[in-house]
């Protein structure tokens, strides 16, 4: 993995500084940390970072976010080419809306998801280059990250993917959380004629409504109050490539018309301009919701559903492809044994039996987290059942309740998991096999 660019992290929490520095050093040539913004400007002058990860609050008991916005404006005024990503608490997402208008590239919610953090920082670095050039094919880009397994359902999906990847047909991927929808989207992109350009990802469930148009279409400097710099939208960034829109079922109904218009006209207009920009994108969407039922209830536009649903691929849950559980576990075992420098780790027969009998409501993501934890915790390089720490999902019993919808079951599962883990949301997300951001979105959706 080649390291690129300099990253400056500014946060008054030394534990956060250490954790993020350890994580990002594998991706950036140099990572600099500051526990106070007082020397931020002088550090920028001496170090010339490409990206800054900036906390929004620096004094105990003060959570207005005004400090972060002040320093954001200082950086934008003095060093307009540097991309700033803000660190904010989940409760302060509204502040991030103002920060985006003030010129922040993006924001990361604490507690953060490692993959999302790295992806955002790397995207900020890439966009900060003078001109975004198509990435050249390399060994890593050409390697498949997709595990197909041997189940008949997955082999049928593989056949479909091999047929449609070479086309520009829009694809809708459905399936439960953790089944690998984004991994499949990346595999389709890898096999397509657009593979030499980076696939652009957008999580629709994480975008505040007030930022939707700016995030998707971009804006010009001065388009709205405190819009201090131009911003390229995701659809423009995905020109000649693939745009992956995750959690599209969470998009508010009144905003779906604007997406439909852009797809039909094959052009977008940045906020603050009247100049249409032609785009050539291949659209892949994903959701864990039933858009067909939502369309019947007028909760999702039927014309948009027709537009995004040229090809529909439904990924089966892991419990319906049990023959793939152990091979997947072995794949993750190899990955995390190398990461944590543990040689010759094996899974005991008893642990395999435990995994085969588990329901895996969190699907592949839950299995992945389980194996990572087991590699860390195991003694004598043997993973036994107690190292798995498998969580007995309440949905296995709740799902048999008469008259319960999937959303009812999911709501009860999350509520009981929160209660049983004393409100520790990081632990709840881990045990349910979902990301913390997804957990927060669901808590908000269900009013928990």
- Quick: pLDDT tens for 169-219: 999 999 998 999 999 999 999 999 999 999 999 888 777 777 788 888 888
Q: How far is CA 9 from CA 34, 104, 264, 380, 422, in A?
A: 6, 15, 41, 38, 32
Pairing of the two strands 281-287 and 171-174 = parallel
Residue spans of beta strands (DSSP E) within 111-169: none
Q: What is the mean pLDDT of residues 76-104?
A: 76
Q: What confidence category does residue 106 fall into, taking pLDDT thresholds of 50, 70 and 90? A: confident
Residue spans of beta strands (DSSP E) within 348-401: 382-383
115: which residues sit within 8 A by CB, 6+ positions away? none
Ranges 45-49, 222-226, 254-258, 432-436: which has the least confidence: 222-226
256: which residues sit within 8 A by CB, 6+ positions away? 300, 301, 304
Domains of the chain: 6-128 (3.40.50.2300), 146-314 (3.40.50.300), 319-446 (1.10.8.60)
Q: What confidence category does residue 25 fall into, taking pLDDT thresholds of 50, 70 and 90? A: very high
Provide the pLDDT for residue 97. 64
Most confident of 92-106, 250-264, 378-392: 250-264
For 179, list phi and psi in degrees, rounded to 5: -85, -10
**Spatial CA neighbour of 182 closest among 207, 206, 199, 197:** 199
For the stretch 246-268, pLDDT in tens is 999 988 888 899 899 999 999 99
Element (H, E) at 234: helix 234-237
Q: Which residue has the higher pLDDT, 447 or 124?
A: 124
Distance CA 230, CA 388 (A): 48
Element (H, E) at 7: strand 6-10
Provide the pLDDT for residue 49. 93
Q: Which residue has the higher pLDDT, 235 or 221?
A: 235
Q: What is the DSSP letter of 271?
A: B
DSSP 332-343: HHHHHHHHTT--
Q: What confidence category does residue 399 fall into, taking pLDDT thresholds of 50, 70 and 90? A: very low
Please report, rounded to a whole number, the percentage of residues in the chain having pLDDT higher than 90.
Answer: 47
Average of per-residue pLDDT values in the chain: 84
pLDDT above 60 (res 401):
no
Q: What confidence category does residue 406 fall into, taking pLDDT thresholds of 50, 70 and 90? A: low
DSSP 68-94: HHHHHHHHHHH-TTSEEEEEEEGGGHH
Token output for 198: 């980076």
Provide the pLDDT for residue 248. 93
Provide the pLDDT for residue 129. 67
Provide the pLDDT for residue 44. 92
Q: What is the mean pLDDT of residues 328-336?
A: 94
Provide the pLDDT for residue 219. 81
For the stretch 264-322, pLDDT in tens is 999 999 988 888 999 999 999 999 999 999 999 999 999 999 999 999 999 999 999 99
Q: What is the mean pLDDT of residues 138-158?
A: 80
Q: Match 């094959």 to its residue by tokens.
A: 266
* Half-sphere exposure at residue 106, Cβ-oriented, CA atoms within 13 angstroms: 24
Please report, rounded to a whole number, the percentage of residues in the chain having pLDDT higher than 70.
Answer: 86
Provide the pLDDT for residue 20. 94
Q: What is the mean pLDDT of residues 33-60?
A: 86
Q: What confidence category does residue 91 fall into, taking pLDDT thresholds of 50, 70 and 90? A: low
- Per the confidence metrics, is the pTM higher than 0.75? no
């Amino acid at each position: 993995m080649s390291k690129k660019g300099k990253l400056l992290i500014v946060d008054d929490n030394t534990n956060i500084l250490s954790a993020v520095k350890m994580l990002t050093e594998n991706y950036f040539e140099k990572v600099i940390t500051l526990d106070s913004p007082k020397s931020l400007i002088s550090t920028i002058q001496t170090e010339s970072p490409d990206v800054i990860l900036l906390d929004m609050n620096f004094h105990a008991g003060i959570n207005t976010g005004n400090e972060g916005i002040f320093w954001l404006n200082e950086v934008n005024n003095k060093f307009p080419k540097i991309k700033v990503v803000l660190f904010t608490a989940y409760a302060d997402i509204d502040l991030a809306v103002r920060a985006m208008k003030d010129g922040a590239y993006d924001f990361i919610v604490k507690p953060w998801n490692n993959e999302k953090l790295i992806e955002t920082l790397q995207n900020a670095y890439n966009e900060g280059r003078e001109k975004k050039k198509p990435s050249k094919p390399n060994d890593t880009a050409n390697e498949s990250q997709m595990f197909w397994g041997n189940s008949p359902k997955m082999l049928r999906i593989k056949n479909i993917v091999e047929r449609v990847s070479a086309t520009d047909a829009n694809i809708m991927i459905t399936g439960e959380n953790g089944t690998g929808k984004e991994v499949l989207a990346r595999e389709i992109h890898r096999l397509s004629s657009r593979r030499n350009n980076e696939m652009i990802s957008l999580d629709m469930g994480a975008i505040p409504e007030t930022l939707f148009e700016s995030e998707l279409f971009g804006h010009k400097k001065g388009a709205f109050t405190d819009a201090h710099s131009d911003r390229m939208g995701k659809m423009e960034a995905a020109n000649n490539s693939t745009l992956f829109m995750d959690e599209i079922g969470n998009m508010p109904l009144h905003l779906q018309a604007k997406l439909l218009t852009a797809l039909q006209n094959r052009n977008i207009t940045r906020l603050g301009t009247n100049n249409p920009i032609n785009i050539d994108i291949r659209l892949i969407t994903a959701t864990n919701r039933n858009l067909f039922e939502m369309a019947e209830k007028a909760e999702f536009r039927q014309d948009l559903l027709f537009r995004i649903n040229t090809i529909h691929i439904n990924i089966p849950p892991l419990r319906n492809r049990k023959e793939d559980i152990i091979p997947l576990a072995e794949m993750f075992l190899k990955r995390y044994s190398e990461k944590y420098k543990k040689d010759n780790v094996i899974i005991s027969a008893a642990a395999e039996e435990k995994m085969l009998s588990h329901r895996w409501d969190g699907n592949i993501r839950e299995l992945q987290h389980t194996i990572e934890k087991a590699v860390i915790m195991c003694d004598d390089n043997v993973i036994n059942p107690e190292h798995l720490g498998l969580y007995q999902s309440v949905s296995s019993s709740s799902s048999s309740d008469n008259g319960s919808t999937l959303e009812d079951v999911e709501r009860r599962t999350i509520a009981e998991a929160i209660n049983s883990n004393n409100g520790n949301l990081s632990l709840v997300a881990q045990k349910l096999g979902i990301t913390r951001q997804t957990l927060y979105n669901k808590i908000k959706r269900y009013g928990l």
